Chain A
Amino acid sequence: MHVGIDLGSRTIKVAVLENGQLVDQQISESGFDPHGQALEMIGRYNPVRVVATGYGRHLARKHFADEVITEIKAHALGARHHFPECTTVVDIGGQDSKVISLDARGRVSNFQMNDKCAAGTGKFLEIMAASLGFRLDEFGPAALASTQEVAINSMCTVFAESEVISLKNHGSPPGDIARGVHLSVVNRIVGMLGRVGYGELIVFSGGVARNPCMVKLLRERLDNVRVDSPPAPDIVGALGAALYAGRMEL
């Protein structure tokens, strides 16, 4: 049994592999005590090896994990598990967005991460949803339902929030603003894809890949490209860590 754990900024994800097959998975809030939370999540297993990834990877290494890998490598491994032919991965998590380019053998050949501000991340969508009065699970569908979009120009979360509030007060419908917010994130990702380059298949991973509007807009903005996600995009990083744990024995 091999356990991969992804200690992210918003949630902790666990993937459990038995003979190379995913047998269990969990997601929970990171909370105030990620170390305690992580221990509680993996306590029920008896793995030969635990590999940690995500922002809390070094904390995990200090206390219980056998090895750490970065989210970049973890998402590359996890994405290739589902789509063995993919050479591009887009991961949008709580705190980061990443575009990862892989060579034919699946090794990371290049990557880009968002700048140090939160724009273009899950956190950005979360804050914008709140200021528009949507629950996070309503936000994507509401944006999807809109046929018009208003442009959000600000790159900074704080300024973008002011921009959203000002649009609201000018009478723009929340759904249209929501669509504009989604589009601003997609435009950033498309810019990063342009810098790194991309193949015919882009695997979209991370929690934001569950947002239907993000997936649709990303597909619309990229010609002749297939954008696909595994069934549980949030645990791709944890899965990659678990796969790495399995490989270490070889």
Chain B
Amino acid sequence: MTDTPFEVKPHPEMWAGLGMDVPRFDKARQMLGEVYDKMYISQANRPTAMQYFDDMVSEIFGGRIKEMLAVKEKGKPVVGTFCVYIPEEVVVAAGGVCVGLCGGSQGSVPDAEKILPRNICPMVKSAYGFKAGRICPYFQVVDFVYGETTCDAKKKTWELLDRLVPTHVMEIPQMKNKRDKTLWLEEVHEFKNKVEEVCGTTISADDLAGAIKVINNKRKALQRLTRLRANSPVPISGKDALLIEQIAFYDEPVRFAGKVNGLCDELEERVKKGTGFCGGDTPRIMVSGTPMALPNWKVHNLVETAGAVVVNEESCIGTRYFKDLIDEGGSTIDEQLDVLTDRYMQIDCSCFTPNDERIDQILREYKKSNAQGILHYSLQFCHTYNIEEIKVREACEKEGIPYLSIESDYSPEDVGQLQTRIEAFLEQIRG
């Protein structure tokens, strides 16, 4: 720990240039710094390689934005997305940047509630509010947004978001039959055409092969990090690992993979020496469910403050994003997009019916991560995850896996209750 408190660096001139509400955003920036200092910097036994990710947070509203502006100056697109279904390989192949815009903060919810109904998903509200309130530099930088039809709240909100920033929509199938893949493949082709149109360029098979490798490498690095967390004592906190999974959605992919692998080298050394983030007798929790978009660290913070450690995230911001790779053997664009579509069709989002492969995946990850209990996390009003939770619970009961389900949003009002539930869950695991 250093003496100077952690700070998210201000860049007011650049923000003004991006048309942001600078005074208001500057307050949010200060708050984020304070929260990060308290939740992250104060942790004991952090790997030294976390410095890079701390710096990424410090420059989250500056350095990375500048890099994106530089890409734009070269005539390449910056594409904003909200979902792990959007094939970022295609954007990277065109020389552009793909950035995850998912909203994870209560701060922008009131902006959204001026327009949107209150009783919809907090992530959708937060995302919309960031644009409506002009309080997210990433939203200001993107050339256009690519939404999808994974849920009703999203697909109807895109119609309204389109008034504020050009928003296109990919139709995600809801089942996994042959005709669904046909639909998705067509959508992927259209997505490629749209990206090419914006860039005024044609994506070659070589470009796409390179991009597939780049994103595969990013996913492989995250897989390696996940495997290392299976060790006891666990070499890294769940909070730090979650942060890295969140940064995966906005960092430059080649550099990011290098830094994650660098961290993994250090974690391997820790494992050899038996050095952990915490003692070997600390209860190990796997989190499963809806994504936790930056800066949503609520559940991880509660779990780790209560004396346990999170060892796995079965979530879109987690293993669902990186568990599957794309076959690198395709030689023509058509072949490549076909295998790319195969990979994307393996994503086991609860928007599909049936989606029993997710239940199998949860049980597999539970065993692999050497967890001692599963905490299912669902955002409020996320019907598909909330209902699928019943099947997850049944599977855990059948397997004798200690299980806790919580439903929450970004507001702090239920922290006391969640703390009680999580502590009682840990009492149950400790016996």
Q: In the complex, A141→B417 CA distance in Å? A: 31
Q: Which of A107, A108, A116 contacts B414 (CB 8 A)?
A: A116
Given contacts A55-B416, A116-B413, contact A108 B428 (CB under 8 A): yes
Establish whether residues A96 and B420, one from each chain, have CB atoms under 8 Å apart when the complex forms.
yes
Interface of B is mostly: helix
Which of B413, B414, B421, B424 has the most chain A CB atoms closer than 10 A to its own CB? Answer: B424
A72 proximal to B (CB < 8 A) = yes
Q: In the complex, A113→B417 CA distance in Å? A: 9
Please, what's the 1-or-0 string for A85-111, where 1 marks a CB less than 8 Å from any CB in chain B? 000000000011000000000011101
Which of chain B's residues have a CB closer than 8 A to the CB of A107?
Answer: 428, 431
Which of chain A's residues have a CB closer than 8 A to the CB of B420?
Answer: 55, 70-72, 96, 113
Which of the four size classes fits the interface of chain B? 10 to 19
Q: In the complex, A113→B423 CA distance in Å? A: 13
Instruction: Report the number of A-B residue pairs with Cβ-Cβ less than 8 Å.
Output: 34
A115 proximal to B (CB < 8 A) = yes
B149 proximal to A (CB < 8 A) = no
Which of the four size classes fits the interface of chain A? 10 to 19
Establish whether residues B427 and A96, one from each chain, have CB atoms under 8 Å apart when the complex forms.
no
A73 proximal to B (CB < 8 A) = yes
Please, what's the 1-or-0 string for A110-137, where 1 marks a CB less than 8 Å from any CB in chain B? 0101011000000000000000000000
Known: A113-B420, A116-B417. 17 other contacts (CB 8 A): A55-B420, A69-B427, A70-B423, A70-B427, A71-B424, A72-B420, A73-B424, A73-B427, A96-B417, A96-B420, A108-B424, A108-B427, A109-B428, A111-B421, A111-B428, A113-B417, A116-B414
27 contacts between A and B (CB under 8 A): A69-B427, A70-B420, A70-B423, A70-B427, A71-B420, A72-B420, A72-B424, A73-B424, A73-B427, A95-B417, A96-B417, A96-B420, A107-B428, A107-B431, A108-B424, A108-B427, A109-B428, A111-B421, A111-B424, A111-B428, A113-B417, A113-B421, A115-B407, A116-B408, A116-B413, A116-B414, A116-B417
Seen from chain A, the residues whose Cβ lies within 8 Å of a Cβ on chain B are 55, 69-73, 95-96, 107-109, 111, 113, 115-116
Seen from chain B, the residues whose Cβ lies within 8 Å of a Cβ on chain A are 407-408, 413-414, 416-417, 420-421, 423-424, 427-428, 431
